[in-house]
Structure 1
Amino acid sequence: MASQSTSAMEKIGIICTFIVGFYLIRFLLKFLYLNFFAPTLKINAVKLNNSVGKWAVVTGATDGIGKAYAEALAKRKLNIVLISRTQCKLDAVAQDIQTKYTIETKTIQADFTKNINEIYHVIDKQLHGLDIGVLINNIGMSYPYPEYFLELKNKDEIYDNIIKCNILSVTNMCKIVLPGMVERGRGVIINISSMASLIPSPLLSVYSASKSFINKFTEDLETEYSRCGVTIQCLFPGYVASNMSKIKTSTWMAPAPSKYVEQAIRSLGIRSRTTGYFPHTLLLGVITFLDAISPMLSRWINTKIMLNIRARALRRQTL
Structure 2
Amino acid sequence: MDFMDLFFISLGFAVLFYYGVKLLLFSRMLYPEVWFPTPNSFFRFMGEWAVVTAGSDGIGKAYAFELASQGINVVILSRTKDKLDRAAKEIGETTGQKVKVIVADFTEEKHFAEIENSLKDLNIGVLVNNVGMLPSSIPCKFLETQDLEETITKVINCNVKTMVKMCRIILPGMEKRRKGVIINVSSGVVCNPPPLYTLYTASKVFVERFSCGLQAEYKDKGVIIQAVTPFGVSTPMTGHMKTNMITLSPENFVKSSLQYIRAGDKTYGSICHMVLGWLLQAIPPQVLHTESMMTRLKCHVKKTTKQRT
TM-score of the aligned structures, taking structure 1 as reference length: 0.90
Query: Which amino acid in 2 is paired with 1:166?
Result: N
- Displacement of 1:21 after TM fit? 1.3
Preserved CA contact (<8 Å) 2:138 2:302: no
Indicate whether 1:141 and 2:133 are aligned.
Answer: yes
Alpha-carbon spacing, 1:13–1:231, altered in 2? closer, same or farther (3 Å):
same
Structure 1 gaps of 5+ residues are: none
Preserved CA contact (<8 Å) 1:86 1:109: yes
Counterpart Cα distance in 2 of 1:68 and 1:48: 18
Counterpart Cα distance in 1 of 2:220 and 2:49: 22
Aligned length: 305
Deviation digits for residues 12-53 of structure 1, max 9, x if unmatched? 4333222211211111112212x123x121536476421110
Query: Which amino acid in 2 is paired with 1:97?
Result: I
Structure 2 gaps of 5+ residues are: none
Alpha-carbon spacing, 1:14–1:313, altered in 2? closer, same or farther (3 Å):
closer
Preserved CA contact (<8 Å) 1:45 1:267: no
Deviation digits for residues 167-203 of structure 1, max 9, x if unmatched? 1100110111111111111100000011122213211
Answer with 249-258 or 16-25: which moved more.
Answer: 16-25
The partner residue of 1:253 within 228, 243, 246 is: 246
Q: What SS does the aligned partner of 1:191 have?
A: strand
Matches within 5 A, 1:169-188: 169-188=162-181
Matches within 5 A, 1:59-78: 59-78=53-72
Alpha-carbon spacing, 1:248–1:236, altered in 2? closer, same or farther (3 Å):
same
1:229 match: 222
Preserved CA contact (<8 Å) 1:145 1:309: no
2:188 match: 195
Counterpart Cα distance in 1 of 2:272 and 2:206: 24
Deviation digits for residues 270-289 of structure 1, max 9, x if unmatched? 12101111111111101111
The partner residue of 1:15 within 10, 13, 24 is: 10
Counterpart Cα distance in 2 of 1:129 and 1:227: 25
Alpha-carbon spacing, 1:204–1:232, altered in 2? closer, same or farther (3 Å):
same
Q: What SS does the aligned partner of 2:44 have?
A: coil
Q: What SS does the aligned partner of 2:63 have?
A: helix
Q: What SS does the aligned partner of 2:289 have?
A: helix
Larger Rg: 1
Q: What SS does the aligned partner of 1:244 have?
A: helix
The partner residue of 1:24 within 19, 23, 41 is: 19
Counterpart Cα distance in 2 of 1:242 and 1:224: 33
Counterpart Cα distance in 1 of 2:241 and 2:263: 31
Counterpart Cα distance in 2 of 1:288 and 1:171: 27
Counterpart Cα distance in 2 of 1:16 and 1:197: 31
Counterpart Cα distance in 2 of 1:100 and 1:305: 44
Preserved CA contact (<8 Å) 1:48 1:73: no
1:122 match: 114
Preserved CA contact (<8 Å) 1:200 1:299: no
1:113 match: 107
- Displacement of 1:11 after TM fit? 4.0
Alpha-carbon spacing, 1:313–1:126, altered in 2? closer, same or farther (3 Å):
same
Query: Which amino acid in 1 is paired with 2:53?
Result: T
Matches within 5 A, 1:95-110: 95-110=89-104
Preserved CA contact (<8 Å) 2:180 2:224: yes
Indicate whether 1:79 and 2:73 are aligned.
Answer: yes
1:297 match: 287
Indicate whether 1:307 and 2:301 are aligned.
Answer: no
Counterpart Cα distance in 2 of 1:220 and 1:309: 35
Counterpart Cα distance in 2 of 1:310 and 1:246: 11
Counterpart Cα distance in 2 of 1:168 and 1:89: 23
Query: Which amino acid in 1 is paired with 2:126?
Result: V
Preserved CA contact (<8 Å) 1:72 1:262: yes
Counterpart Cα distance in 1 of 2:233 and 2:180: 26
Query: Which amino acid in 1 is paired with 2:176?
Result: E
**How much identity, in percent, do the aligned residues show?**
33
Query: Which amino acid in 1 is paired with 2:250?
Result: P
Q: What SS does the aligned partner of 2:116 have?
A: helix
